[in-house]
Structures are given as structure tokens and as C-alpha cells.
Chain A
Amino acid sequence: MKTEVLPFPARRDSPAIDQVGVEERAQRFCARSLKKETKMSALKLAVTMLDVTTLEGADSVGKVRQMCQKAMQPLPGDPSVGPAAAVCVYPRMVATAAKAVENSKVQVAAVATQFPSGQMRLKERLAEVRYAVGEGADEIDMVISRGQFLQGEYRAIYDEVAACKEACGKAHLKVILETGELTTYDNVRYASDMAMAAGADFIKTSTGKVPIAATLPVTLVMLQAIEEFYERTGRMVGMKPAGGISNAKLALQYLVMVREVLGPKWLTNKWFRFGASSLTNDLLMQIRKQETGYYQSGDYFTQD
């Protein structure tokens, strides 16, 4: 389906967000108690929603290959677990990753547009997108120019997202808002509305490179934006919280939130992803615990 670009939305069209209220609501999801088969099916679902990620200066061909193996086969010998949704790497590693996950369901996502700061001319940022797509990326994770957003140059954000969407061609576009730098929920809501109007396939909280990454309330604000966008236009947009989701309990709280805000329709890796590096093994450990009743030592889960 071709994504339609909608007109630039005015700031006043985004509803106000009450900080206290939204944080309270997010806390309420944490009071849900998942047991037995509900918990097991949620844990297994979470594994299939992982964007297994490495974004380090030290990333090498060998490291990326090993991580891809883990994404395809998270729990060796148990095909009911996984595979993960995607691997997420820097553009230089896309070709390596694409080759490693060939013939599997795992997608290759590349961060681009001068990740993580976005502080570069648009021309070069778009060239980076085209390069990553040319190398074989199925998905592009772009960053918005937070500095310009905070300067009040909102249309520039809308334009850069629309330009990136065009540069992506067939690749899916995830738009990273870097919510930790936008600071207020009102800003997050407006940035979400703008990114979706400009053609984002996914909206994503964070790069993982600033101290405040994904939180439940900020994700809730973005889920509400997605819900209302869908009501208005009939187009589904995906959500990816990233950074700071390091244990299974927290991941399940996110899933409960998606279930109650957007409904089960969004609970596939087509519409929801976790951007995480250390979450995988905790999910696997909890799955084993549910199966056997015991926690296994970390030695039984591969470190890749």
C-alpha cells in the first residue's frame, strides 16, 4: 500500500497532554498480573517483536554475523521461540547483516540520517538513507532534527520526514523522535502527529544514546497518537519503544499497554517492535522458567 502524505498538521490540532494523568495511566498497566499461559504466550510474542540491535563504533563483521544468528535462532533447539523481527545496525554493516539473515524471516533495519544526532545537512542525510537501502536494508530508522523542533521550525521536521520517506523507496521508515530531548509530552505528541502525517510507517521513541530513553508514559502518548491517527485516516502506524527496556517484566507491561490502547490488531511484529539489546536473554530465561518452574543459570543462554 502506498503511504499517503497528509498536509502539515498545525500544533493546535494535537490535543493537550496532562503529565500527571498520563503517568498515572501508564502506571495502571503495571498493575495487570500475567500468569500461566497468558504470560507464556506474551513472552513468546515479545521475542518475535525484537529488533536485536548493535550500534557501537566497535561493531565488526564477526560481531554482526553472530548477532544475526541469535536473531534467527534465539533459543537453539526450540523452534517455537522466535525468530526476532529484525536486526538493527549502522549502514556500513547492512550488507553483512543482509547476507547473514538471507532466507530467514528476519528483516534488516539500518539507522541513518546522521544517527544519533541528525546534525548534518539534509542532502547528506538523505544520501545515507539511499546508501543503506542500496546495501539491502528493509527498514530505515531515521532521527528527526530535535534542535530545529525546539527552535520552533516544525515544518522542517515534517519536510525531512517526507523527504526520507521518499528516499526509502520500498523500505519501511521508522521515525525516531528522541523523546528524551523533546522533554515534554506535548512535544512528543505533536512530533508523533507530524511524523505520521509526513508518511512514517513506524514512530520510535529513542536512539538509546541519550540518558532518558523509552518510558511507559511516553510510549502511551505515542500509542494514543497512533490510535487517533488510525481513527482519522484508516492508516495503521507501528510503534517502537527503544532503549532502557532491559527485562521481560517491563516488556510485558508494554504489551499490556498496546493490547489495551490499540487492541490485539497491533500485537504483531508488523506493528510493534522492541528496540533492545539485552532484553532477549531475559525473555528467554523467563520462558524457560515458565516451562520448568526453575530459573536456569545465565550459562544456558547464549551471549552474542
Chain B
Amino acid sequence: MSANDFLSGGFAPAPESADHFKIKKNYDLYIGGKWVKAAKRFKTTNPATGEVISQVALAEKKEVNLAVKAARKAYDETWSKMPAAERGKYLFRIARLLQERAREFAVTETIDGGKPIRESRDVDVPLAAAHFFYHAGWADKLDYAFPGAKVAPLGVVAQVIPWNFPLLMAAWKIAPALACGNTVVLKPAETTPLTALKLAELFDDAGLPPGVVNIITGAGETGQALVEHPDVNKVAFTGSTAVGKAIRRSVAGTGKKFTLELGGKAANIVFEDAPINEAVEGIVNGIFFNQGHVCCAGSRLFVQESIAVKVIKKLQKRMETLVVGNPLDKNTDIGAINSVEQLERIKTLVKAGQDEGACLWQPSGGVPRKGNWFKPTLFTECAQSHRIVQEEIFGPVLAIQTFRTPQEALTKANNTPYGLSGGVWTDKGSKIFKMTTGLNAGVVWANTFNKFDPTSPFGGFKESGIGREGGVHGLSAYCDLKI
């Protein structure tokens, strides 16, 4: 029997090919429909190997000014004057082009960010296209979205997005902004700028008028300069709660509109009458999807004490079948941790969990030597006061607690500074309604987890943010509604 025999070994390598397109060695800034050079550059690396993929321009104050100016010009002269149906046509064209080049975007996303190709191919890219399609349809129907109101665009929108879903977040931000008649300056995260820059190339191919979308790359300072720019009318941010708070302080008193999508520490609540096998699968999808780099990840599991042993045993068995490794391999379930910094943060919190007395479990398989990796991890014997229960880990680490009554589950689930998402698993319909209305979270799933759709509003309460994205609620964040 050979090493990859079906009965005894792992799967033979099944890598997605990356040779049908090119990632350039250097990328500049996309401002006013042109590629503009900056004085400095920074590297973006492949987190699975540590290799440098590309050198990307670093936008400073001067370039931020240029980008906002270009967006303002495009807003005043072109985009706000264009008939809404025409704006819709551009969005439809972008959506179709994205579908045509889906594989190129999926592979780039995986190389730059470390997520498994199965996810970038089956989730990120199709959902990104779906967001453009959905909002394309709204462009000329805004009056019907807000009956009785006069709908006007806001102007220039500053958008800062995170590294966990680089392309999807770009689509999530750009599509509604353009549909409502705004122009955009977008800054992708410094560790994952490539798909946003490829999206700029795609906008060029779609013939989008210059300056309607500008993409500038850089780290926190670039983002800060953009958000604080006086000629920006709205700020849309997805990222950490700490940065979100800073942004909210900086826009206070400026009249800028804002939406913030921040951290989370979702409770996934499993009752003894739940469809148990599907619940186990939902727990796995809830926490290990995208290596747990998901703001709405189900990172706290509450399981009814009467079935806790059974659920944990099933969970461990399922985790043994998860394939950790090369993100480009089609069989990979868990890819690389996005950056060295994030890996350190996960390690620190996991160590804190052990020190505080929670019980760690990891599956038996190994991880590659090169690159940033962390095994899927369970903590049992967790208490509400543990750091791993209180703080967002943003990695493949699940903290398990038991509960005895529905009321206890609700109390503990809501006992967190966050309020982004939650999940309830039970076969009893009335219990679903009781629990989901009791959870203080913006998005609640019943008998499933981590389901996203452009028609459905997404956003949180408390320190998880303010405002909604997606659906009609999301549109209103990009419109000036005169009632």
C-alpha cells in the first residue's frame, strides 16, 4: 500500500492550478482610473509559505488626498448625474466579469490570505458576485426601497476593510455604495491587498468611469488619514473593536455618517432535543470556517449538560477528519493563519486558557513546518470568567460551556460586551422563537450557522458595531433619506 492509498493514507495532493493568470510583482494605487506610484512600498506574503508574493504601494497623506479628490470629482461630474439605471448596468457588468474570472480571484485570495481554496471558490467569490448582482438590481429602484422618502446619495464614502474576507468585504462595501450613487475610496487590509487591486483591474475592464472607485493600499495610518479626511461624507469600517472605537471618536461632531462592523464572541446554543449530528457539523462550520477568522464565528459553545459528553465526543471525531494544510489543495478544510501577529495573538490566548484551568484538546494530525498554522482546538471545562470566553480569539479555538435551563443559556450567552451573532439548535419550533428573540445579537441562526446572503442585513449590537450591511437596511446606510 502506498502513502496515499484510499484505505490507509491521506488524500493524494489535489492542488488548484495557479498558472492561468499572473499576480504582478508590483502594484500601484488605483486613483482616478489610473495606476499612481507612491514613494514607498510594502510586501504582501503568502501566510502558508512565508514567501513574498508582491510589493504594494504605501499610500500616505498625499495619495489619500489625491484619492478623495478623484472620488469627489467623479461624484460631482459623473456618477451623481448618471441615470440610476446606467449605474445598475455597470454593477451588473462587474458581477458578470467577477463570475467569469472567478477562479483567478479565488486562487489569488487563497494565496494572499491563507484560506482554503474550497472556501474562496465556493463562498467568497460567488457571494461577492451575488452582492454586485443584488445591488445592481436596486440601483434604479431606490424609491421603492424607501416609500415616501426622497432618496439622495451621500457623496464620497471612505471604506476600510479587514483581512479575513478581503474580496467579499470589498464587494460588500462597494456594491451598495455605488448602487446608491456614491463614489468610493477603499483601503484593503495591509496583509491582503491583492484581490482588491485585481478588482480595480476588473473595474477598468468594465469601463467604470475614472474616480468612481479608488483603491489605496497601506496600513493603519493610511486608513486613519482616509477616515479623518474632511471631504469624506461617510465612513464604513469592518475590523477590530479597538479601531472601531477610535473611528467613532474621530467622526464625532463632523457630520459624517458611519457604519461599524466590529468584533464578536457568538454563542452557539445546543439543546438536548437538537438534531445532534447536524448540530455537530454546525459547530464545526461555526468556529473552523476560515480558520475562525470570522467576526460572527460561533466561538462560544453552550451545550445542554445532558448531552455534553456525547456532543464533545462527536465533535472530536469529526475534527479528526478535518484536513489542515496547503490552502490551494482542494481537500484542505483548514488553511493558514493570516499573519504572524494573528498567530501570536491566538497562541497567547490559548496559553491563557490553559493557565486559567480550561481543558485543551486538539486532533492528532500535524501541521506543515513552514508558514503560520494553528490546529483546530477545543477547550472544555470553560467558565464565563475565562479570558478565552470573554475575549475574541479570531482563530480556530472553541470554548465549550454547559448549561441546564434555557434561561441560564440566554443569560450566559448575553453576558458579553459583544452582540454580533448567535445560533440555536433544537428540533422544537417554539424554543427557537423564544431563544432567538432573547439573544441580544444582530444575526441569529436557527439549526444552521454562518449563512450569508446579500438580501439579509448583517451587523451587531453593543461593542460589535452599529449599522447594518446588506438588504434594504444596508442600502439605507448609503443614502440620504429626505422624508
Contacts and interface: CB of A to CB of B under 8 A. Distances in A.
B427 A16 contact: yes
Given A15-B276, A16-B273, A21-B447, A41 B7 contact: yes
A25 B11 contact: no
DSSP class of B's interface residues: helix, strand, loop or mixed? loop
B250 interface: no
Given A35-B12, A37-B5, A38-B6, A21 B427 contact: no
A259 interface: yes
Contacts of B7: 41, 45, 264, 267
A170 interface: no
Contacts of B352: none
User: Which of A20, A22, A41, A260 counts the most chain B CB atoms within 10 A?
Assistant: A41
A45 B11 CA distance: 15
Interface in A167-216: none
B12 A38 contact: yes
A301 B187 CA distance: 59
A16 B275 contact: yes
Interface string B382-417: 000000000000000000000000000000000000
Contacts of A259: 6
A24 interface: yes
Contacts of B122: 31
A69 interface: no
A39 B12 contact: yes
Nearest to B272: A15
Interface string B278-311: 1101100000000000000000000000000000
User: Which of B3, B6, B279 counts the most chain A CB atoms within 10 A?
Assistant: B6
Given A16-B273, A18-B447, A260 B282 contact: no
Interface string B5-19: 111110111100000
A24 B281 contact: yes
8 contacts: A18-B278, A21-B275, A21-B278, A22-B275, A25-B278, A37-B12, A38-B4, A260-B321
Interface of A: 15-18, 20-22, 24-25, 31-39, 41-42, 45, 224, 255, 259-260, 264, 267
Interface of B: 1-9, 11-14, 118, 122, 273-279, 281-282, 321, 330-331, 427, 447-448
Given A16-B276, A21-B275, A34-B11, 16 more contacts: A15-B275, A15-B276, A21-B447, A22-B278, A24-B281, A25-B277, A35-B12, A35-B13, A36-B4, A36-B12, A38-B12, A39-B12, A41-B1, A41-B6, A224-B277, A264-B7
